[in-house]
Structure 1
């Protein structure tokens, strides 16, 4: 039997929301193995001088815990 754990993360990018999601996976994978999915719950952007300067996401990352 496999157990799936879910963590909630916040990530950002200066390029796009897609890149912010990729950054979330990249950073999470430094300490978590067996990542299976990411669910983006919320997106927001920081605006300066009428231009988007940062794309931000709140996401849930799911991964499988290894059996002992």
Structure 2
């Protein structure tokens, strides 16, 4: 039987939501091993000077606990 844990993180990118999710997983994988799945819970964009500025995602990351 496996034990799984879910954490929630916020990540961002200047390019896209997909890049923000990639950034979040890459950063989390530096300290968390055995990542099994990622769920995008929420998305948002900040606006600066009437331009899209930063893509943000709220991620739920599931990983196996050893």
What TM-score results when the alignment is normalised by the length of structure 2? 0.96
Question: What is the root-mean-square deviation in Å for CA atoms of aligned residues?
Answer: 0.6
Aligned length: 66
Give the gaps of 5 or more residues in structure 1.
none
Long gaps (5+) in structure 2: none
User: Structure 1 residue runs of 4+, over 3 Å off?
Assistant: none
CA deviations 1:3-58 (Å, max 9, x no partner) are: 01000000000000000000010000000000011100100000112211100011
TM-score by length of 1: 0.93
Q: Distance in 2 between matches of 1:23 and 1:11?
A: 7
